[in-house]
């Protein structure tokens, strides 16, 4: 890991603000609160099965406040003094663990409705990946065959867009976490030489969130109930999380968590089920959830859930509608600063069902 010294390229952005709006950015902002506040940003992840590392090289985080123009973006440079990107393995930061992009940076106060994580990802098109050195930029290491380049479909120059709004209070502090749910974000289309990184992720204010944890009964994930992709209790098992109570669980087939036309909801987060070597339990953790009602469902067919591919040549590839079997859907309530426990147990069908 590089010894990172972080600096902000705020001066030019503030000059643009002053020229573009005719106001003094030191004393006013887009929601009337004025001044500056302190911002800290971390990254967390929910893993997938077939990779052993997802090594991101981050150049900068660009921020834009609500109603600001694109020219008003603030850029936080994350490179070291030699110009090297900030590099880390996303898989090292799961189940509530976070990697700090930066801490206590001064930014104009206000509501930030747009953020962009700028990655070092040289491939401008998927075809370029075939001749690219995988370790020359952000890359995935597959368990089966080693490093594979990462391609951002919206363009590597644009980076990875984060669209959840958050507020930085005047003379106050804000801490947010970027949730890279790799099961929803990362996929390798058939025949491609790179992994596609889907360009939308969840952002949550740390102090206003809670989490859900639980265990999964072994008979639900070892194939003995006939509902799994395989008989290995260590693979393809995941808990899907949906906003709102009493949702009908659906697969990952849209960029948001609204209900589809068929009444199925799209997940807003997922969690891999893992074996705890100490307790012998199969456990999951979903962190950084805003307070409210949720529906949770378990599946041992997570490998069948394809990611929509905007670069695909057919409607099936673009929409990726998959018929995933979900088990034991149930409701949960999340409160800020608290842990909600939701276990999953298998109930055998009753005679006549």
What residue numbers bound the domain in which 238 lies?
A: 211-341
pLDDT band for 28, please (50, 70, 90 cuts): very low
Residues 135 and 230 reside in one and the same domain: no
pLDDT tens-place string over residues 188-235:
887 788 888 876 688 888 888 999 999 999 999 988 888 898 898 888
Give Dmax over CA atoms of the chain in angstroms.
74
3-state secondary structure at position 19: helix
**Is the confidence at residue 29, as pLDDT, over 60?**
no
The Cα-based distances of 344 to 252, 287, 330 in angstroms read: 21, 18, 9
Assigned domain for 144 exists: yes
Residues 170 and 265 reside in one and the same domain: no
pLDDT of residue 75: 92
* Structure tokens belonging to residue 340: 């909600």
pLDDT band for 158, please (50, 70, 90 cuts): low
pLDDT of residue 338: 95
**Is the confidence at residue 1, as pLDDT, over 90?**
no
pLDDT of residue 33: 52
Under DSSP, the state recorded for 255 is: S
**Is the confidence at residue 128, as pLDDT, over 90?**
no
User: What residues contact 61, with CB distance under 8 A and at least 6 apart?
Assistant: 41, 75, 76, 78, 101, 102, 115, 116, 117, 118
Given a contact cutoff of 8 angstroms between Cβ atoms, the answer to whether 61 and 101 are in contact is yes
Stretch 113-119: mean pLDDT: 87
pLDDT of residue 10: 29
Residues 180 and 224 reside in one and the same domain: no
Count structural domains, the chain. 2
Residues 91 and 164 reside in one and the same domain: yes
**Is the confidence at residue 322, as pLDDT, over 80?**
no
Which is more confidently placed, 349 or 121?
121
Domain boundary among 183, 208, 233: 208
**Is the confidence at residue 256, as pLDDT, over 70?**
no
**Is the confidence at residue 71, as pLDDT, over 60?**
yes
Domain boundary among 192, 208, 224: 208
pLDDT tens-place string over residues 263-295:
788 898 999 999 999 999 999 999 999 999 999
pLDDT of residue 160: 73
pLDDT tens-place string over residues 132-145:
888 889 999 988 88
| Cα–Cα dist 6/281, whole Å | 41
Residues 326 and 299 reside in one and the same domain: yes
Three-point CA angle 59, 65, 70, nearest 5°: 65
Residues 234 and 203 reside in one and the same domain: no
Domain boundary among 208, 239, 274: 208
Residues 193 and 239 reside in one and the same domain: no
């Amino acid at each position: 890991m590089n010894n990172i010294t972080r600096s902000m390229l705020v001066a030019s952005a503030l000059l643009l603000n002053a020229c573009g709006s005719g106001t003094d950015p030191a004393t006013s902002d887009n929601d009337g609160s004025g001044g500056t506040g302190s911002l800290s940003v971390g990254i967390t992840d929910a893993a997938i099965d077939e990779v052993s590392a997802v090594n991101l090289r981050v150049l900068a985080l660009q921020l834009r406040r609500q109603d600001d123009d694109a020219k008003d973006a603030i850029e936080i440079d994350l490179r070291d003094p030699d110009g090297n990107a900030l590099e880390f393995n996303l898989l090292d930061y799961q189940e509530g663990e976070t990697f700090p992009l930066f801490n206590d940076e001064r930014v104009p106060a206000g509501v930030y409705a747009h953020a962009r994580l700028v990655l070092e990802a040289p491939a401008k098109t998927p075809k370029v990946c075939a001749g690219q050195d995988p370790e020359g930029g952000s890359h995935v290491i597959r368990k089966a065959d080693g490093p594979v380049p990462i391609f951002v479909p919206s363009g590597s120059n644009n980076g990875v867009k984060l669209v959840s709004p958050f507020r930085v209070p005047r003379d106050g502090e804000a801490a947010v976490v970027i949730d890279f749910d790799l099961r929803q974000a990362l996929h390798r289309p058939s025949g491609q030489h790179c992994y596609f990184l889907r360009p939308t992720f969840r952002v949550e204010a740390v102090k206003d969130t809670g989490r859900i944890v639980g265990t999964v009964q072994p008979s639900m994930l070892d194939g003995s109930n006939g509902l799994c992709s395989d008989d290995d209790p260590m693979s393809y098992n995941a808990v899907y999380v949906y906003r709102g109570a009493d949702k009908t669980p659906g697969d990952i087939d849209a960029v948001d968590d609204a209900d589809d036309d068929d009444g199925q909801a799209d997940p807003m987060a997922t969690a891999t089920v893992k074996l705890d070597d100490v307790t012998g339990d199969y456990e999951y953790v979903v962190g950084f959830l805003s307070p409210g009602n949720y529906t949770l469902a378990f599946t041992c067919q997570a490998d069948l859930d394809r990611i929509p591919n905007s670069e695909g040549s057919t409607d099936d590839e673009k929409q990726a509608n998959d018929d995933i079997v979900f088990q034991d859907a149930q409701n949960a309530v999340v409160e800020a600063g608290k842990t909600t426990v939701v276990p999953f147990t298998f109930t055998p069908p009753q005679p006549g069902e």
